[in-house]
């Protein structure tokens, strides 16, 4: 049974794998045996990340391209498949958030979030999926969110993108399951990363809110996602299609509790 979780010999591409949840997932996949490829639009982020991975005993291949630019993705995927090998596992992790009330949000800012968080994963899946379909096997993991299911003030663009990403996951799963390509999602709850740092500082009302709203009573640690990512990247999930697994400390399981109640 444990062998079915083994990723030896597999090539895993983690977009935005230079920090945060992407780095934690890539580290978990590496520990399960995968060869890791990361991308970022910023060369300096890539350089720093390669060094950080190396300090943790992990050799990664790094490529700079923009997931929202179809020509860049097409060319980069071809180079990666030439230089590293066919991509067996794609983690669509790269993304941004813009916390602005809808009435105040520029349409251009809304479009930018949709472009990076939803159109980017589509473009990546289209060009990596081609090879997977041809080889008759592959795993795609889309990084969804609590906002794939729930709204909250100030994140209309992000929630729209992550809700769409859940449905893109289901649709690609529908189209590619017959080729033995499994497309699933991971929905992180609230994790201690740079992306949540502004709303996690001591004394910030949101910090208190999340601790109270999460049955586990804490922010997640990025390493908490690795096991689910290994499962969805491995043979152990070959009959799992179009699912989003929420790693959220119980947030989506509960209506919450009155402030102060244990």
First-last CA distance in the chain: 39
Helices 43-55 and 20-31, packing angle to 10 deg = 40
Closest CB to ligand GCO among residues 128, 168: 168
- Which of the residues 127, 158, 190, 246 is marked catalytic? 158
Report in angstroms the alpha-carbon separations of 175 from 21, 121, 141, 146, 166.
28, 16, 15, 25, 15
Among the residue ranges 33-41, 53-61, 85-93, 146-154, the one whose residues contact ligand GCO (CB under 6 A): 146-154
What phi and psi, each to the nearest 5 degrees, are found at residue 36?
Answer: -100, 135
Q: Which residues of 162-194 are buried (b: 16+ CB within 10 A; e: fewer)?
A: bbbbbebbbebbeebeeeebbbbbbbbbbbebe
**x/- letters, 183..202, toward ligand GCO (CB under 6 A):** -----xxx----xx--x---
Rounded to a whole number of angstroms, the minimum distance from the CB of residue 204 to ligand GCO is 11
Of positions 58, 147, 157, 229, contacts ligand GCO by CB under 6 A: 147
- 127 is an interface residue for ligand GCO by CB under 6 A: no
Instruction: Answer yes or no: 127 catalytic.
Output: no
Of positions 32, 67, 113, 146, contacts ligand GCO by CB under 6 A: 146
Rounded to a whole number of angstroms, the minimum distance from the CB of residue 41 to ligand GCO is 20
Rounded to a whole number of angstroms, the minimum distance from the CB of residue 210 to ligand GCO is 9
Closest CB to ligand GCO among residues 64, 195: 195
Question: Which residues belong to the active site?
Answer: 158
């Amino acid at each position: 049974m444990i062998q079915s979780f083994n990723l030896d010999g597999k090539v895993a591409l983690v977009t935005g794998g230079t920090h945060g949840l992407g780095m934690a997932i890539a580290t978990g996949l590496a520990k399960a045996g995968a060869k890791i490829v990361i991308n970022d639009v910023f060369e300096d982020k890539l350089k720093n990340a390669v060094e950080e991975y190396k300090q943790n005993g992990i050799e990664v291949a790094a490529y700079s391209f923009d997931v929202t630019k179809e020509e860049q993705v097409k060319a980069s995927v071809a180079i990666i498949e030439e230089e590293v090998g066919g991509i067996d596992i794609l983690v669509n992790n790269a993304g941004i958030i813009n916390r602005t009330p809808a009435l105040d949000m520029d349409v251009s800012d809304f479009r930018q979030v949709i472009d990076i968080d939803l159109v980017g994963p589509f473009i990546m899946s289209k060009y990596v999926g081609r090879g997977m379909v041809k080889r008759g096997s592959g795993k795609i993991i889309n990084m969804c969110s609590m906002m794939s299911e729930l709204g909250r003030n100030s994140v209309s663009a992000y929630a729209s993108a992550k809700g769409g990403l859940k449905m893109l996951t289901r649709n690609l799963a529908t189209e590619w399951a017959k080729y033995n390509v499994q497309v699933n999602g991971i929905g992180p709850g609230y994790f201690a990363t740079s992306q949540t740092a502004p709303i996690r500082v001591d004394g910030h009302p949101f910090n208190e809110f999340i601790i109270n709203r999460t049955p586990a009573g804490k922010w997640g640690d990025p390493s908490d996602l690795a096991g689910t990512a290994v499962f969805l990247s491995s043979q152990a999930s070959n009959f799992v299609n179009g699912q989003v697994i929420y790693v959220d400390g119980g947030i989506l399981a509960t209506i919450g509790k009155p402030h102060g109640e244990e």
